[in-house]
Chains A and B, each alone.
Chain A
Amino acid sequence: MSILANKDTYVVIQGGVAGVNAARRMAEFCYLIKRSLNVLAFVYPPDAGKTHEIPYGSGLVAVPIYKTVAEATKHHPQINTSLVYIGADRAMKGGMEALDDTHIKVVSMITEGVPEKDAKILGAHARKLGKVFNGPSSIGIVSAGSCRLGVIGGAFDNLVLSKLYREGSFGVITKSGGLSNEIIWICSQFADGITTAIGIGGDAYPGTDYVSYLEMFENDPQTKAVVIVGEMGGDLEERAAEWYGAKKRRVKLMAVVSGFCQESLPKGMKFGHAGAKEGLKGEGSARSKSDALKKSGAIVPATFGALGPAIKEAYQELLKSGQVKEPVEPASLPKLPKSIEAAMKADEVMVTPLIRTTISDDRGDEPCYDGYPASELINKGYEIPHVVGLLWDKRLISKQEAEIIKRIMMLSADHGPCVSGALGTIIAACAGIGLSQSVAAGLIMIGPRFGGAVTDAGRFFKHAVDNKMTVDEFLTYMKKNHGPVPGIGHRVKSLRNPDKRVKELVGYVKSLPIKTPCLDFALEVEKVTAVKKDNLILNVDGTMAAVLVDIGFPVDSLNGFFILSRTIGLIGHWVDQKRQDSRLIRLFDYLVNYAAPKRREVPPLK
């Protein structure tokens, strides 16, 4: 048997994230002892109507969320226990709501920092109704082999190590949440484990005190001894001593109390839990508590470390007197399925990756580009073109190459509102479309006729140079196999009205001490084509392409330089329209040549 929580305990959790985490822990325990999840509902008004998916074994259980406790118990009348994970400022209201629900018999409050007055009101209200209000600041309640309320017991491995899958003979009552697992563990190593362990919370006035729980343990035949982990402050330990000393008790009482260090600290210096405050005249000190407990006949080891051996001694006596038998351990226990990550770490599974990347990794504390941490690149003076080099061509380009890329980007960032890309973005912006979609509207214009000739220009110039073609051979080859030469020709610019961007870029690159076979070849091509027709000049796409091939960028990445640069302009156009609060535009009729058939009658449908 156990007290407070057992196989018939069904739970509603009031609160948000912390409550969901607790439910996960509770599901692990339910899985260990092979019972279905005992959390039937959540109450959290902002998410009412939805569900929380709680992992159970390798599956998921959907637990509904309600607006009120009454709704939860109406749909799940088996609910008899509530766990309160609501913030301190609203905890009392939530606790009252649970206490006032006729289905609910036990309310355990996990919230810390609840005003003392509120805790007292909740405690008094529960007593009046004959219910249990546990906490505030409770770590939870666990009955071995039957029920876990809250995160008490810790991780799954600890549940197994502490033998919480089956009953023992020791009850535990502790103010400290952090020490609850320690005591449970000690009981399982030095004796046969626990029946029920209760965290009553470290506040000055917990809703339910040691005595109430001692009475319950006294009436639970499975519990043979109770361990109390006390703290200085208040008088709960003294009251427990009084209870124990009042008459012969069936259960053995064992206790430790902390706070002896207080005696050798500067006056008035206190620490530990909220309740750990000494009374005015030495009452509530660790010594007065431990003396009272000893006087009542309880076993009080001198230190926390001596608690294990004391529990062992008590257990051996129980064994000898035949009151308890050595426990039988189950042949096997369910293993908690591992997450893929954990199983991979333990070399237990092999996974075929879905994608493969060779350029970047942000799993550490910052992104690495081709292995170089971004911050180190910044600190060592590298710039955006270097990042382009690393991510597009997996190499750290030189200062000179970076300067060329920078200039290319500056020259092609924008070309006014009339070109296809900008116009697409502007029309979208005027239609009230968002930034990324409007920019995408402009970007999809980039193709064979607008901006997208860089890659092809590069490919063919490179082909010519690699195959040592003469200009004539090249032009013949193009005419025969592909058509017009990409990168040659401009709609408005011509020999007499040259493109300044081309002049600028060619001038700069030629001034550098680098070899530029593609660019040289492209300029030779221009000499021939421009003679044939005035506007068949080397355009900016062709120039960029030749230069980029010359400095080693792969042909397939070349359009990227135009896309990247022009994105700057497209964003500019979107922001510009937005700033002006531009209105929806449509094409004027006079800009359309209506060449469709004149209006005519629709023939009858056949």
Chain B
Amino acid sequence: MKCLGLDIGSRTIKLVLIENGRPIYTHKALNTYDPINEVKKCLQKVDYDIMLATGYGRGLAQKEFHVPTVTEIKAFAIGAKYLVPECRTILDIGGQDTKAIALNNVGRVFKFEMNDRCAAGTGRFLEVMAKALGYEIEEFGKAALEGNDHIQISSMCTVFAETEVISLLARGEKRQNIARALHRAIATRSVAMLKRVGLNYPIVFAGGVAKNPCMRLFLEEMLGRSNSDKPSVIVPEDPQIIGALGAAILAEREVKNEG
């Protein structure tokens, strides 16, 4: 039985196919204004028996393909637990939202926090800021690592922060330093969210933003434990597919329960 997890995110569509509890195929595609069409293109390339959808577009998938759905929160919990069995907290920074999820000792969600309506401090925020500073998103984190720490960005609103960035540039500030300050602002905000759910170690850092080396460094700096030789923040090999993986595992579980 091949079970497909489909995660329709605001920026990226992710697919993970599993068979007998093991991932056998993953795929990512950029999302557009027409999510269902993009999903259909992805599905042509994959042979599956059942599917379960998650992500902000899960409702669309349910209508179009008549498949069950689960929220990103539960999907991330299951996916992270599969990859890092000892995981107790998850930080997911995706395209348009940030989530902090606390798991109990058997891996069940017991508390979560999520940013509300605006995309402040998310992947989208980084994209807009990278553009304002003339960077490709892939090189943005690396550039920030080259900067130094003498300035601070206080706005987390994308519109206000862009204004702040432009006035810093006008003052002749080096763009690496501005990039660094932007990263630090997001990391600080994310840590505050993690603290609200309790902050138990280890933390799995997932979502597209987990690919950013400067974000990883700041989180490790702010969350690192001096009293433990184990890592505090674990980034899975492909941090973007955790939700799709969780959905696939859940699809397989549901089949087993029915059988």
Binding between chains A and B = no
- A: which residues have CB within 8 A of B? none
